[in-house]
Chain A
Amino acid sequence: DIQMTQSPSSLSASVGDRVSITCRASQGINNYLAWFQQKPGKAPKSLIYAASSLQSGVPSKFSGSGYGTDFTLTISSLQPEDFATYYCQQYKNYPYTFGQGTKLEIK
């Protein structure tokens, strides 16, 4: 199975900040990587697919980059609604696997 490792596990930031979350795959996955945002009690919401493509309706403050094994999600100009948990997920091979999550909290 492909292991997905996110860092950091938690992150404290202020409104207006720019933050980055990284995701490393245990083997190359080309660009078969998605990023999700999840708020308490809700289903995950897709933000990015194919490592860097913005999902329809997602604001351009979210951006993704990377290829192979190392990927980054960047969120610019944090707003209160952006404080949530973020997951990466590889869909190169079955079983699909998720990172352990990064909880973004208000400082």
Chain B
Amino acid sequence: QVQLVQSGVEVKKPGASVKVSCKASGYIFTSYYMHWVRQAPGQGLEWMGTITPSGESTTYAQKFQGRVAITRDTSTSTVYMDLSSLRSDDTAVYFCATLGASFDHWGQGTLVTVSS
């Protein structure tokens, strides 16, 4: 079965960077885009960006341009989301997801807390 397994809880100080991983299994990794969506405490869902199946191209929400980088390693079927210059309002649960219409699968989420 399809599984997206994300890395564990992170606690970071303001100004630091965080790298969250998402390891995929159960499907052909190079066939689907991967997206990152975040959810601040008590808030709604916010799309951050995506990477193409080959990993050659990325698209990011304007809000995160210059601070986020999404990469993928096809040898390990893992996608990474790197967010830099962290602020307190980046505290959120970060999800990877295929968001592929009929092929829609989500990771379990990774809590990132930014606090001094």
Contact = CB atoms under 8 A, between A and B. Distances in A.
Q: Which of B45, B46, B47 neighbours the largest number of chain A CB atoms within 10 Å of its CB?
A: B45
Interface residues of B, number: 19
Contacts of A36: 45
Instruction: Name the prevailing secondary structure of the A interface residues.
Output: loop
Nearest to A46: B104
Q: Which of A44, A50, A99 neighbours the largest number of chain B CB atoms within 10 Å of its CB?
A: A44
Contacts of B104: 34, 46, 49, 55
Contact of A98 (B44, B59, B108, B109): B44
Interface string B18-51: 0000000000000000010000000011110010
Nearest to A45: B106
Interface string A25-50: 00000000010101000011110011
20 contacts: A34-B101, A34-B104, A43-B95, A43-B106, A43-B107, A43-B108, A44-B45, A45-B106, A46-B104, A49-B101, A49-B104, A50-B102, A53-B101, A55-B104, A56-B102, A95-B47, A96-B47, A96-B50, A98-B45, A99-B44
Interface of A: 1, 34, 36, 38, 43-46, 49-50, 53, 55-56, 87, 89, 91, 94-101
Interface of B: 35, 44-47, 50, 59, 61-62, 95, 97, 99, 101-102, 104, 106-109
